Structure 1
Amino acid sequence: MIDETPVLDNHLHLDPDNHRGIDAVEDFARLGGTHLLVVNKPSWHLGVEADAGEDFRPVFERTIDIVEEASEVLEGRAWPVLGVHPGLISRLVDERGYSPDEAREIMHAGIDVAAEYVADGEALALKSGRPHYDVDDAVWEASNAVMRHAFEHGGDLGCAVQLHTEASEDLTEVAEWAEEAGMERQRVVKHYAAGRLEGPTPSVMSDKERLERAAERSEPFLMETDYVDDPDRPGAVLGPKTVPRRVRWLLEEGHDAAVRNAHVETPARVYGIDTEATLE
Structure 2
Amino acid sequence: MIDETPVLDDHLHLDPDHHRGIDAVRDFARLGGTHLLVVNKPSWHLGVEAESGEDFREVFERTIDIVDEASSELEGRAWPVLGVHPGLVSRLVDDRDFAPEEARDLMQAGIDVAAEYVAAGEALALKSGRPHYEVDDAVWDASNAVMRRAFEHGADLECAVQLHAEASEDMTAVATWAEEAGMPAHKVVKHYASGRLEGPTPSVMCDKERLETAVERGELFLMETDYIDDPDRPGAVLGPKTVPRRVRWLLENGHDEAVRNAHVETPKRVYGIDTEATLDRTE
In structure 1, what residue type is equivalent to 2:276? E
Q: Deviations over 1:202-250 (max 9, x none)?
A: 0000000000000111100000000000001123210000000000000
| Contact 2:128/2:163, CA 8 A, preserved across alignment | yes
Partners of 1:66 and 1:235 lie apart in 2 by 22
Partners of 1:18 and 1:26 lie apart in 2 by 16
Please give the secondary structure, in 2, of the residue aligned with 1:189.
strand
| Contact 2:16/2:63, CA 8 A, preserved across alignment | no
In structure 1, what residue type is equivalent to 2:23? D
Structure-2 residue corresponding to 1:200: 200
Structure-1 residue corresponding to 2:130: 130
Structure-1 residue corresponding to 2:13: 13
| Contact 2:204/2:222, CA 8 A, preserved across alignment | yes
Partners of 1:216 and 1:256 lie apart in 2 by 13
| Contact 1:29/1:73, CA 8 A, preserved across alignment | yes
Q: Deviations over 1:154-181 (max 9, x none)?
A: 0000000000000000000000000000
Work out whether 1:253 is the aligned partner of 2:253: yes
| Contact 2:13/2:38, CA 8 A, preserved across alignment | yes
In structure 2, what residue type is equivalent to 1:62? R
Structure-1 residue corresponding to 2:262: 262
Shift of 1:19: 1.0
Structure-2 residue corresponding to 1:242: 242
Output aligned runs, 1:145-224, within 5 Å.
Answer: 145-224=145-224
Q: Deviations over 1:10-67 (max 9, x none)?
A: 0000002011100000000000000000000000000000111001000000000000
Partners of 1:54 and 1:84 lie apart in 2 by 12
Question: 4+ residue runs of structure 1 moved beyond 4 angstroms?
Answer: none
Normalised by the length of structure 2, the TM-score is: 0.99
Shift of 1:265: 0.2
In structure 2, what residue type is equivalent to 1:215? V
Structure-2 residue corresponding to 1:44: 44
In structure 2, what residue type is equivalent to 1:165? A
Percent of aligned positions with the same letter in both sequences?
Answer: 85
Partners of 2:61 and 2:268 lie apart in 1 by 25
Shift of 1:110: 0.2
Please give the secondary structure, in 1, of the residue aligned with 2:72.
helix
| Contact 1:227/1:235, CA 8 A, preserved across alignment | no
Alignment length (residue pairs): 280
Shift of 1:4: 0.5
Q: Deviations over 1:118-164 (max 9, x none)?
A: 00000000000000000000000000000000000000000000000
Partners of 2:240 and 2:22 lie apart in 1 by 11
Partners of 1:240 and 1:119 lie apart in 2 by 29
Please give the secondary structure, in 2, of the residue aligned with 1:73.
coil
Please give the secondary structure, in 2, of the residue aligned with 1:190.
strand
Partners of 1:57 and 1:149 lie apart in 2 by 18
| Contact 2:185/2:200, CA 8 A, preserved across alignment | yes
Q: Deviations over 1:98-125 (max 9, x none)?
A: 0000000000000000000000000000
- The gaps in structure 1 that reach 5 residues or longer are none
Work out whether 1:108 is the aligned partner of 2:108: yes
Partners of 2:67 and 2:61 lie apart in 1 by 10
Partners of 1:263 and 1:22 lie apart in 2 by 22
CA RMSD between the two structures: 0.4
In structure 2, what residue type is equivalent to 1:41? K
Structure-2 residue corresponding to 1:82: 82
| Contact 2:203/2:223, CA 8 A, preserved across alignment | yes
Partners of 1:121 and 1:234 lie apart in 2 by 33
- The gaps in structure 2 that reach 5 residues or longer are none
Partners of 2:185 and 2:269 lie apart in 1 by 11
Partners of 2:242 and 2:184 lie apart in 1 by 30
